[in-house]
Chains A and B, each alone.
Chain A
């Protein structure tokens, strides 16, 4: 696997898929106040696979939630494309999540009553759109689920369920896919499959942001951003497992 030649971003007219500026978020009040994000600024390059790392409580999940329009920051802005999503109302946010963002969660989060195919097309179905058959075929082949499409989640292994989740995130061709510890609930072999999958999608031009604390997972990405105490403390391009471990040791 070569990480050297970054592919042409799909949204080529934009310099970055997401721009984060002076993002601040605190939880709690008084002496119990926790500053989860402290003036974070960051660009997410389009068509790249970016990892966000940091110890527990470093603010990496909060950062992702704010970028993914799941949480609102106290101040600062997040631009996805030309739009400042921190200023959007619920309806527009819902549409943004539906059309421009894909999610992969640690615990798969599939709808148990729907089979694999229905779960995959869920975001399109919600929007009332039909999947582009070529792209759907491409995604299905990428995640190797063709013979599993009629199965319900409880008939699938953990790795298969997470591949369904990845396919669901990819199928609507969102601007950005956010993955929150996507391998956290998987054995190492299934985890490696998922990471390969994400890498390959990024090579196809998909922008992906992944939160992880696993240096092996981070090594699949193009760039690692290190967070500690709500601030960006370090950054690493073309990471390997060793350089990530080194950086972690340094920032800790």
Chain B
């Protein structure tokens, strides 16, 4: 029997490989994602060891929640004290500041989405554990106010060479500088800036640029003597430190730096694994179908084996053995593709900031095991259902002319489908209700969605019947007899047609849901901005980076400007949780036109206003006191009022600029709202304002439309990324249709021969197969769009409380999906139709 199974596999290798493709893709996603996260985990500590000293001394609150550096510093005399510790070999003060962007030779800022632009002081302090750390790879170290060193990647991306003048925006008083590039820095022993750009000056210059000339540092690296542990050295340092400064071990500091990134990357791996799951589910449909057709074609041969004495179990096992081999093959190919995929993910992530350098791939035993388990289990389980049916073939059928495989009744399929849809829908509702509170809510929701999808596809031979009848009627009216034949063929085996369509259905359901969520989110953003946009222009910088307060002063002086309202960000800790802070001018609170639910719109010293949703979530009311940890220590602010959520206020807690400064945040603005004087044309004013920020490429002046567009952009990007991944599901679906049609053509060879013999032309034959293909893909598309709209609307209703108030169905996009389905159908039919048209009439007609 084993030999029979092998023979049969070899005889159909191309066809089977096509149906393995889905398995290959799914396994590749699983394996690639696992390899990528292994690669990260192994190298992460190493990556960050080179970016910290043995012991790092820094202010207790060194960074705000958003990563903005505070004004807290380490005084210069502390460095001397640290250097004299018995366990210390040396101590080096460092200056680091963010919001420092390098302008490339093309006039654009260098940097990705998110990673900060860093500026700082150059020194040759060794990194933790005696690693070399950052070193000058080329040129020399910077000296004096007119020299700078850039990191390797930034210099390359910006297009600067040694001796060039580099334009740098500092975010400080002197908003741009253009020092000479004298050196290129990098990590010779491994290390990563995680995509940040780095511009290094000598210590004095860095202090002038970033600390307003103060003789202080943002952190101190203390290097341990031989034999002194990081912990011991940190303990010694703690003894001599004044209040407000802490000493952390390099290990701790590296872990802290790594954990933020790991969290961001963890989201990515979850995301990719979900798509692996989608690919595998869609792929298993393909496998079920392929095996059903193959088994149907071979039923006579299998009956012969039974007649020759093979037991029922032997026949079933021989089919399952084929599936096993196929699954193993798919897993092997998938593993190979996974390696490429992991490299691809790493390079994409690299472009977005996290540079993994030349880390080699990690092929852990777990990855190999997972790949084979997933590949084989999915294939064998999918093949099990058609295989089981072969057991019911009676031996006597070997002698019959036409053998029909016994099939489960459509009614049972329908009942089974309902049995999946109902609990699936309940799980979805439960998942939606708890998605906010229960961490597993997402899984319950996902399982519900999967159950509904599987249920609908199980019931689809019944559900799709009216659609198939309709398409037959339409086709025969529009395309005449060829259309009727195509419609009949699609109806011939409703299970096969709908199973093939199901693959497309799943992909399109998810795509439509995403389209609705994305569109609704954008509409909600638009509406919120429309309701709350005040003034005429918003001035803000890329990634919310801070800029000099001089900009506000200069803009206020522009003719035609009535007034300028400043907005800045900070962050504090409230009961251990990070809370973003926003601040505006005390006297200008009225200009924001906030809608107060309760209390008064007052920003007296020590009072704050809080956002409604945040207040609800934390159970905060007017008059409550908030005990916050800020850079200067603890402050207590009282809630004076609660305002309706407003996209122009970027954080839940709003204080006055004065209070924020007192809390120890830098004197930098993050956004400005400009009010024009009456009678000044908007375009004139925009032109004048643009001139002010001409030398600050990071800062832009936006009117309401441009601001809304900027706010919508991240949603667009996310939706596009998801569409791109769902595109893979589409590819699998197309392959499924190709496969089904190709096998149908083989199955109907004699019939095709007859039609050709009695005068069906080649083009009519091609049209017939193309139409059948379009019917299949449209069926999948219609079911998918309907399900997707239902999912999308239900989801949006559930998310209504989360601030997504507008439910918007992108009709045009949905129509595009349907049109795309027609194109998919036409494309999928090309090869099978060509194959059918090439059949020799005489041989076709004589085929059994």
Contact = CB atoms under 8 A, between A and B. Distances in A.
Contact of B764 (A70, A71, A99, A126): A126
Interface string B735-762: 0000000000000001101111111111
Nearest to A96: B759
Interface stretch (B407-415, B485-493, B608-616): B485-493
Interface string A85-112: 0000011001101110011010001111
Nearest to B472: A113
B760 A126 contact: yes
Contacts, number: 70
A95 B754 contact: no
Contact of B758 (A71, A90, A112, A123): A123
A111 B754 contact: yes
A97 B757 contact: yes
Interface in A113-131: 113-114, 118, 122-123, 125-128
Contacts of B755: 111, 122, 126
Dominant secondary structure at the B interface = helix
Interface in A56-100: 65, 70-71, 90-91, 94-95, 97-99
Interface residues of A, number: 27
B751 A126 contact: no
Contacts of A126: 481-482, 755, 758-760, 764
A112 B760 contact: no
Given A113-B485, A113-B492, A122 B842 contact: no
Given A125-B480, A125-B481, A126-B481, A109 B845 contact: yes
A44 B830 CA distance: 42
B799 interface: no
B491 to A, nearest CB: 7
Interface residues of B, number: 25
B486 to A, nearest CB: 10
Contacts of B489: 113
B809 interface: no
The CB with the most chain B CB atoms within 10 A, among A71, A97, A113, is that of A113
Contacts of A127: 759
B490 to A, nearest CB: 10
Contact of A109 (B484, B754, B761, B842): B754
A111 to B, nearest CB: 6
Given A70-B757, A94-B759, A123-B759, A128 B481 contact: yes
Contacts of A125: 480-481, 484
Contacts of A231: none
A168 interface: yes
Nearest to B491: A113
A105 B756 contact: no
Interface in A122-151: 122-123, 125-128
The CB with the most chain A CB atoms within 10 A, among B750, B756, B758, B761, is that of B758
B118 interface: no
B842 A103 contact: no
B751 A111 contact: yes
Contacts of B265: none
Given A70-B841, A97-B757, A118-B484, 18 more contacts: A71-B842, A94-B761, A98-B758, A98-B759, A98-B760, A103-B758, A105-B754, A109-B845, A113-B488, A113-B489, A113-B492, A114-B485, A122-B758, A126-B755, A126-B764, A127-B759, A128-B481, A168-B758
9 contacts: A65-B842, A91-B762, A94-B762, A103-B758, A111-B754, A113-B485, A123-B759, A125-B481, A126-B481
